[in-house]
């Protein structure tokens, strides 16, 4: 059993590192789907380094708590060839496992040895999937999803979140994408604030509705940050 003092220290550290890794994956997804081979390969190498650091951090936590190293996991790919979709599936498995504790009001109680072991396993599989793709390179016969977050949902196409103008048109496409996200976020916040401008509780949204409305705004802003940062890093200067 993990003591509560250790859990209170470890949980924020894990969630912060995982959030950073997730943001890097979103950026990598965009680069992989839209930019050239050298740029995509460099971004993949950066994500590979970040995934390894995250995996090493988890291994160190496990060793400090239990006095033993995490066992070697046998990696069995979900897809029969190296592909970005395989990396996306492994990243999604990692974030789904983190969600079991991230949204729980009783975080320390859920931070158990099996949960940490499961997180280490999923992290190791993510590193193995990226390592496989790094070794194979960008396959010529692999259809890359036309979306900067497409791989997070397997074969789903999230291209509708980008400007229909297309980012290949440079700053015009970037500006239109940012404006789309901001307009959607402002619309949600406006409707939400108007619902609290009247007297009494009648007609006000439920707590769940408020929570998911704010989540929608947060996701739009994260989309903006990911697209702008990636555009900045990969625009020739």
What residue spans define the domains of the chain?
4-159, 167-234
How many Cβ atoms sit within 10 Å of the Cβ of residue 65?
A: 16
Q: Which two tokens stand for residue 64?
A: 């400090």
How many Cβ atoms sit within 10 Å of the Cβ of residue 88?
A: 24
Predicted confidence (pLDDT) at residue 51 exceeds the cutoff of 90: yes
Q: Which pLDDT score, from 0 to 100, does residue 71 have?
A: 73
17 CA to centre of own chain: 11
Residue 134 to residue 46: CA distance in whole angstroms: 11
| pTM given for the model | 0.57
What pLDDT, in 10s, does the model give residues 111-157? 788 888 889 999 999 999 899 888 765 544 334 433 334 444 444 45
Mean pLDDT of the chain: 75
Predicted confidence (pLDDT) at residue 200 exceeds the cutoff of 80: no
Q: How confident is the model at residue 237 (pLDDT cuts 50, 70, 90)?
A: low
How many Cβ atoms sit within 10 Å of the Cβ of residue 23?
A: 15
3-state SS assignment for residue 147: coil
Residue 177 to residue 169: CA distance in whole angstroms: 12
Instruction: Name which of 134, 155, 133, 160 is nearest 145 in CA terms.
Output: 155
């Amino acid at each position: 059993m993990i003591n509560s003092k250790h859990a209170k220290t470890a949980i924020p550290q894990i969630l912060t590192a995982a959030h950073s890794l997730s943001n890097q994956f979103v950026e990598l997804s965009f680069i992989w789907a839209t930019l050239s081979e050298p740029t995509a390969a460099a971004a993949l190498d950066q994500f590979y380094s970040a995934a390894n650091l995250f995996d090493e951090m988890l291994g160190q936590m496990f060793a400090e708590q239990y006095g033993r190293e995490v066992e070697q996991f046998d990696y069995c790919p979900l897809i029969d060839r190296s592909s970005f979709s395989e990396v996306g599936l492994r990243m999604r498995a990692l974030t789904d496992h983190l969600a079991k504790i991230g949204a729980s009001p009783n975080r320390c109680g859920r931070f158990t040895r099996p949960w940490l072991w499961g997180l280490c396993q999923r992290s190791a599989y993510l590193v193995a999937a990226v390592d496989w793709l790094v070794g194979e390179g960008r396959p010529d016969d692999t259809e890359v999803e036309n979306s900067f977050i497409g791989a997070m949902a397997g074969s789903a196409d999230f291209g509708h979140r980008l400007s229909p103008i297309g980012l290949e048109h440079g700053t015009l496409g970037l500006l239109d994408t940012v404006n789309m996200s901001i307009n959607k976020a402002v619309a949600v916040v406006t409707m939400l604030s108007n619902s609290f401008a009247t007297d009494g509780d009648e007609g006000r949204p439920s707590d769940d509705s408020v929570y998911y409305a704010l989540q929608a705004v947060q996701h739009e802003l994260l989309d903006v940050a990911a697209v702008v940062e990636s555009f900045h890093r990969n625009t020739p200067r």
